[in-house]
Every structure is written in C-alpha cells, then in structure tokens.
C-alpha cells in the first residue's frame, strides 16, 4: 500500500494532463490565464505528488495571486514547506490555522502527512483519526491509517483499518487484495481463510474474495479447495484470467497436467500471451514426458521474453533428457548468467556437469551454492560427490562433516557420511552412522543405497532395516 492523498476526484487523467499542459504553456509563453480554485488545487497537488517542488511553488504563488482569500492554498503552502524539508515551520503554520478552522479536515490530513514524512507514524495516526471524526469520505482515511500501521509493522491494526474501509465500500477490489496482503504479511493465512469465508457468506458474488480464498487454500496445499474457490470466481466472471492461471497452478500441483494446460491456454482468450504462462505450459508437457511439446512452449516463451531464465532452464532440461549435453549446457549456462544468484538454476548447471563427468566444474558450482546457502543439503551432498569422483575421499568426508555442522538433523548427510566411511574401509564406524540416520528417518535409506547399491545384499544392513522399519 502507498500513501496517496487524493485531493480531487473530479475529472480523469486526461483533464489533469490538459490542465498541466495549459499551466506550463502559460509559464513558457509568459502569458496570463485564469484558473479556478479547483483547477489550481489539482495543479499544485499534481506537482507535489510527483515532487516537482519548483513547479508546485510557482503554482502556489500564482494561486495566491489569483485567489488571495482561499484557505486551501495556505494548507498546500504547508505541504510545500514540508516537501522542502521545513517540517516544523509547516506544522506551526497548520497549528495556527487549526485554531481558526477546527472543522477543516484537510488541516489534520496534511499534519498527518507531514508526521509520516518525519517517520513519526504514531503522531500521523493521531492526526488522521482527528480528520476521521469529521470526514465525509472516511474510507480513504482508514486506508491511509492502515499505511501508517504498516510502516510500524503493526499488521493487526492495519488489517482492522482496512476492514473498516471495506465495511464502507465492500465492492472495492483494491481493499480486498490489500487485506489479503496484510494477512499474508502477518503470517495469519488461517485467519485470512476465516475472513474470506465470512465475507463470501455475506457477499457470495465477490469474485475477488473467492480468488483470494483460493490463494490462501493454496498456501496450505489444500489444492482441491483452492480449485473450488477459483472455479467459483470464474463462474462469476468467465473472463477472470488470473483465476484461470491460479487454477492451472493448483491442477499442476495435484499432478493433473492436462487440466493445467487447458487452464493456462484459457488465459490467452482474455489477455495477451505472456512468456511465463508459456513456460508453465512447457513444464506441464515436460511432466507428461511429451518433450517435443515442452520444447515448443519453452522456446516460444523465449521468443516472447528473451531474458526469461526459467525458459532457458526448461530447454536445457529437455536437451539433457535427450542426451544433448552440449546444447543443454549452453542453455543452462545462459540461465545462470541471467540470474547468477539463483541457486536452483546453478544447481541444475552443476548437476549437468556432474552427469557429464566434468567433476571440477561441478565442484566449483556446488561450492558456490553451499557458500551462499549452508542449509542447501543437496548442494553439500553433490559437492562431496564431485570431490569423491576425483579420488579425494578424505576431502569428501570433510565436506559432509562440515555440512553436518549446519544441518545435523539431515539423515541424508549421515547416510552419505556412512557411505564414504564404508568405502574407505571403516565399516564399524560406517554402521554407527547408518544406525544414527535410520533413527532419524528409516525411509531415507534409499539415499545410501543409491550410492552403495551393494548394501542391499548385506545381511547386517537388511537386519537393521527390518528393525527400524518395525519400530516405525
């Protein structure tokens, strides 16, 4: 949310643009035009809002010349002072005006704005609440107060203010989305579900409420409920492209890839094609193992947006599956070049090098991953494997031991340590760590077997599996 003081609701953008052009022509041509009070208020506020302080000052001087008795220009003069960083002089001017015009809402609103600029959000709220008592348009003030609470990280009170604004204007799409945003920011998704269920109970035809309810269900992996919510939103408005997009994502999360493709394609009926949606279509086809179709949509995504790193990754994955390693490397390296801090992309590249036998390059990239994210267990496992494949077993063991300093509760790391020790001839020590990992999660033994498949034939290992699987 942003702090937006909407002083004049008459007239659209075109009217404002024409007013600004007329005023600036007057200044350029050194002519004298007449503007009424409302027009000059719009001009002054326009320049202040985009922080063109020199022009707002000229507009103010002109306004006071044409309409010397108008109080509203004195209020805007205080705003001008504040934008020139003369906060206390501006506040003093407004305090003097307040003694004469206690029922002037704009005085309190501008005082609130100035306190906000000074990062004194509690004082700003006090002033806005004074304005609220006499305002004929309280909705905007509730939104502004919510903005101040957000600046104080007080999301609970921000939500409360937004709800009060929504009570006044329950049809406001913006307010519904803002409330959803604050529930998410506050980590109160469950309360967000309760709120939207209650809101829908009163207003069942609010497509935005159904849409946001779907988003919250999705955040709890309740994909069936999310699908139901998005379908209600679409039933209310069949052109609701964002609902089709989210519906597609939910179907994809459930593994219904053909349904997801249908919904992604449906969005193109109501808005222009975009690269990201084409990427997701490609990903769905990839999950269906229809690689020619996947490649088509990934490449089409790149035609629409040549810098879409995800699409480069997608093309690279397809070429990797087709054993076209040189092409795969070229595309995945391009993705990493575009997004060098994306560890998922770098991980794809490192895996490609590992599978290609370029262990030195794999070591370099896995090393960069765990350097930036010590919790990346897959990075540690494959970094150690890249080193082990270069016949540096002692170093590989050291890497796993270092990883365990950060991720001691990971059974995969303990299994891998056991595997390396086993291959080093330290069988007894290896079995100590095998048991430790089995205690943590016996189902993860497959990580060890993938590295040491011969263990599946070893009676001691088989007996341990039986013991720990029975205890589950």
pLDDT at site 469: 82
- Under a CB-based contact definition with an 8 Å cutoff, are residues 44 and 73 in contact? yes
Domain locations in the chain as residue ranges:
1-136, 409-472
* DSSP line for 253-300: HTT-HHHHHHHHHHHTTTS---HHHHHHHHHHHHHTT-HHHHHHHHHH
| Torsion angle in degrees (nearest 10) through CA of 146, 152, 157, 161 | -10
* DSSP line for 31-89: ------HHHHHHHHHHHHHTT-HHHHHHHHHHHHHH-TT-HHHHHHHHHHHHHTT-HHH
What is the rounded distance in angstroms from the CA atom of residue 180 to the CA atom of residue 178?
Answer: 5
Inter-CA distances, 41 with 106, 150, 170, 320, Å: 12, 29, 30, 63
Question: And the tokens for 212?
Answer: 């946001």
CATH fold, domain 1-136, is 1.25.40
HSE toward the beta carbon, residue 419, CA cutoff 13 A: 24
pLDDT at site 472: 59
pLDDT at site 22: 93
Apex CA 242: angle with CA 238 and CA 245, to 5°? 100
pLDDT at site 14: 66
Inter-CA distances, 303 with 75, 266, 306, Å: 53, 20, 6
What is the rounded distance in angstroms from the CA atom of residue 365 to the CA atom of residue 343?
Answer: 9
Apex CA 471: angle with CA 468 and CA 472, to 5°? 95
What is the rounded distance in angstroms from the CA atom of residue 243 to the CA atom of residue 322?
Answer: 35
pLDDT at site 60: 94
Residue 261's closest CA among 276, 277, 273?
Answer: 277
CB atoms under 10 Å from CB of 439, counted, come to 12
pLDDT at site 5: 45
| C-alpha torsion sign, points 261, 262, 267, 268 | positive
Task: Output the tens digit of pLDDT for each of the chain's 472 residues.
Answer: 334 444 344 446 668 999 999 999 999 998 889 999 999 999 999 999 999 999 999 999 999 999 988 888 999 999 999 999 999 999 999 999 999 888 999 999 999 999 999 999 999 999 999 999 999 889 999 999 999 999 999 998 999 999 999 999 999 999 999 999 999 988 899 999 999 999 999 999 999 999 999 999 999 999 999 999 999 999 999 999 999 999 999 999 999 999 999 999 999 999 999 999 999 999 999 999 999 999 999 999 999 999 999 999 999 999 999 999 999 999 999 999 999 999 999 999 999 999 999 999 999 999 999 999 999 999 999 999 999 999 999 999 999 999 999 999 999 999 999 999 999 999 999 999 999 999 999 999 999 999 999 999 999 999 999 998 876 5
């Amino acid at each position: 949310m942003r702090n937006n003081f909407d002083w004049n609701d008459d007239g659209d953008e075109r009217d404002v643009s024409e007013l600004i052009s007329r005023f600036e022509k007057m200044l350029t041509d050194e002519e004298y035009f007449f503007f009424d009070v409302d027009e000059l208020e719009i001009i002054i506020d326009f320049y202040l809002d985009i922080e063109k302080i020199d022009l707002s000052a000229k507009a103010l001087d002109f306004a006071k010349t044409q309409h010397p008795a108008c109080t509203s220009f004195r209020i805007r003069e205080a705003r001008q002072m504040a934008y020139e960083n003369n906060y206390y002089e501006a506040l003093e001017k407004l305090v003097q005006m307040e003694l004469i015009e206690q029922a002037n809402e704009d005085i309190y609103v501008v005082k609130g704005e100035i306190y906000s600029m000074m990062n004194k959000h509690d004082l700003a709220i006090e002033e806005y609440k004074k304005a609220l008592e006499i305002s004929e348009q309280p909705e905007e003030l509730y939104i502004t107060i919510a903005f101040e609470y957000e600046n104080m990280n007080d999301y609970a009170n921000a939500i409360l203010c937004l709800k009060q604004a929504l009570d006044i204007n329950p049809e406001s799409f913006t307010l519904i989305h803002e409330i959803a945003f604050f529930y998410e920011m506050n980590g109160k998704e469950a309360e967000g579900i309760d709120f939207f269920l209650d809101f829908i109970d009163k207003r069942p035809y609010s497509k935005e409420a159904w849409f946001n309810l779907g988003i919250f269900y999705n955040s709890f992996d309740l994909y069936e409920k999310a699908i139901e919510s998005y379908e209600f939103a679409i039933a209310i408005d069949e052109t609701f492209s964002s609902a089709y997009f989210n519906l597609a994502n939910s179907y994809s999360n459930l593994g219904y890839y053909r349904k997801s493709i249908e919904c992604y394609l449906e969005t193109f009926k109501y808005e222009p094609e975009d690269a990201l949606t084409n990427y997701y279509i490609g990903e769905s086809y990839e999950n269906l193992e229809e690689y020619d179709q996947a490649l088509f949509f990934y490449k089409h995504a790149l035609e629409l947006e040549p810098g879409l790193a995800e699409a480069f990754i997608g093309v690279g994955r397809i070429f990797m599956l087709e054993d076209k390693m040189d092409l795969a490397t070229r595309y995945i390296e391009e993705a990493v070049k575009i997004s060098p801090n994306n560890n998922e992309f770098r991980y794809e590249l490192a895996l490609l090098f590992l599978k290609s036998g370029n262990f030195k390059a794999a070591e370099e990239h896995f090393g960069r991953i765990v350097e930036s994210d010590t919790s990346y267990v897959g990075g540690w496992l494959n970094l150690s494997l890249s080193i082990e494949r270069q016949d540096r077993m002692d170093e590989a063991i050291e890497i796993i031991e270092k990883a365990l300093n950060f991720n001691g509760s990971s059974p995969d790391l303990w299994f891998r340590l056991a595997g390396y020790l086993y291959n080093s001839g330290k069988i007894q020590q290896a079995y100590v760590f095998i048991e430790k990992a089995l205690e943590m999660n016996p189902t993860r033994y497959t990580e060890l077997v993938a590295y040491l498949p011969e263990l599946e034939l070893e009676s001691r290992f088989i007996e341990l599996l039986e013991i720990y699987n029975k205890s589950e």
